[in-house]
Amino acid sequence: MGFLSASSSIVRFDARPAARLDRDALCEAVNRRAFREHDEDGLPKPEAFGWVAIHDALVTELEPSDIFFQQYVVLGFRYDRRVAPAKLVRLETRRAEAERRQSQGLERLGRAVRKEIKEEVAARLLLRALPSPSLFECAWDLDRHTVYFTGKARGPREAFQTLFRETCGVSPIPVIPYLAAERVGLPGSIVDAVRAVEPSRLARPADPPAAAAAASAAAAGNGSGVPW
């Protein structure tokens, strides 16, 4: 899901770049954290993420010209998850436990041994599991101190925030309403006042009973309200 997709979800972060941004140093930092499918031992990881070129997700050696684009830093972000199917882990664990009992002539295995077996089985199956990749994009507007990221799901979003902080040396802060008040050009006194307000009650005191009746009537009318 990217900026040029027909439809994309955008999360906005606040990130103030250093006064003097060293483009070559940033590019080196990006390349150090480019996407790698395997860890240092050449083994697959349950979760792997890193930078890729925004114009081609297979490009993981980036030049400054791949990253710097007018006032933006633009990057692709690849996030892979590798999961061994839970049912297969259970079945293979049972098989491994039975083999261990037989080979050691035991009737039962202790909890610690069973846990160890389960971890071994999960790790073994993980080596054979295929990764499920997701591609996202980010654009850091250096002039407006704003990062746009095209993913909302918690796992990739948190991984992105961590990677961005490690790479760029600045924590991207999600622009929630409380923080947005500061970014929209309001005087400090108004920002402080807005942050201090308590929730307003929009229903009149006499409204709630009528609301229940109306809600029942509406629900009975077309059934489109789905409480969950």
Partner 1 sequence: MKEDFLSVVEAKRFLGREFLTWLLFRVEEDGGRLQVGDDVVELALGDRVVMQEEGEKQARLTLFDEGDMRPELGAGLRGGKLIDRARIAVTRGERRWELSLDGGMLTYDSLRCPKLGDRDAALADDPRALFENDLFLRLADIEEVVGFLDHLFASFCQLRASARWENETLPLLRAWVSDLGA
Binding mask 147-166 for partner 1 (x = CB under 8 A): -x---x--------------
Contact 45, 204 (CB under 8 A): no
17 HSE (CA, 13 A, CB side):
19
**Whose CA is closest to 159, among 149, 69, 169?**
149
When the beta carbons of 109 and 162 are compared against partner 1, the nearer one is 162
The answer to the question of residue 220 lying near partner 1 (CB under 8 A) is: no
Q: Checking DSSP bridges between strand 132-141 and strand 173-174, what pairing results, if any?
A: unpaired
The answer to the question of residue 23 lying near partner 1 (CB under 8 A) is: no
Among 19, 70, 108, 110, contact with partner 1 (rule: CB under 8 A): 70
Number of other CB atoms surrounding residue 200 within 10 Å: 5
Tokens 């997701």 — which residue? 134
Amino acid present at 124: R
Residues comprising the chain, all counted:
228
Binding mask 180-209 for partner 1 (x = CB under 8 A): xx-xxxx---xx-xxx-x-xxxxxx--xx-
**Whose CA is closest to 52, among 35, 69, 72?**
35
Task: Give how far Cα 130 sits from Cα of 82, 126, 212, Å.
Answer: 6, 8, 50
Residues 34 and 112: their CA atoms lie apart, in Å, by 38
The answer to the question of residue 72 lying near partner 1 (CB under 8 A) is: yes
Q: Which stretch binds partner 1 (CB under 8 A): 18-26, 29-37, 115-123, 216-224?
A: 216-224
The answer to the question of residue 74 lying near partner 1 (CB under 8 A) is: yes
The answer to the question of residue 177 lying near partner 1 (CB under 8 A) is: yes
Among 63, 64, 69, 166, contact with partner 1 (rule: CB under 8 A): 69
Among 55, 115, 128, 165, contact with partner 1 (rule: CB under 8 A): 55
Contacts with partner 1, residue ranges (CB under 8 A): 3-4, 6-12, 54-55, 69-70, 72, 74, 139, 141, 144, 148, 152, 173-178, 180-181, 183-186, 190-191, 193-195, 197, 199-204, 207-208, 210-212, 214-215, 217-219, 221-222, 224-228
